[in-house]
Amino acid sequence: MSAVETDNEDTLSILVATDNHLGYMERDPVRGLDSFSAFSEILQLAQLHKADMVLLGGDLFHDNRPSRKCLHQAMTQLRRTCMGDGRVGIEHLSDPSVDFGPQYMHVNYEDPNMNIALPVFLIHGNHDDPSGDGNLSAIDVLAVNGL
């Protein structure tokens, strides 16, 4: 986040983070939680600075097939930080079915069945790219769960 704070309603505040590599060395007894702690700090900073959205620019996960523990941690942190009754100050103007696939009729923060306080947008990286049966990734698991 910039050191310059603004309350201007015409300013869009985006927290950008890349290469989080959740799950990196997760079996290591000393460094196993490092990636999750750093990700938690990123999301907390977004809340603290009242970011309008978070853009995760690739490699959220270290592995293409993160462990269940890793996926659970990511989902827990995203739910804790991003869901709530806060006002979302951005609007998605294009067709979500074109942008996100035919199974999504709304972006999560415009879905009447969800309460999103902090929108998060993810971009696949080379560590968490879609592959295999159905050409899916862990990011698709997050999306189908409204995260």
Residues with active-site annotation: 127
Please give the full DSSP string across the chain, using - where no structure is assigned. Answer: --S-----TT---EEEE----BTTTTT-TTTTTHHHHHHHHHHHHHHHTT-SEEEE-S-SBSSSS--HHHHHHHHHHHHHHHBSSPPP-----S-HHHHH-TT-SS-GGG-TT--BSS-EEE---SSS--BTTTTB-HHHHHHHTT-
Strand partners, 53: 14
What does the CA dihedral 78, 84, 90, 95 come to, rounded to 10 degrees? 70
Is 107 within 8 Å of 98 (Cβ atoms)?
Answer: no
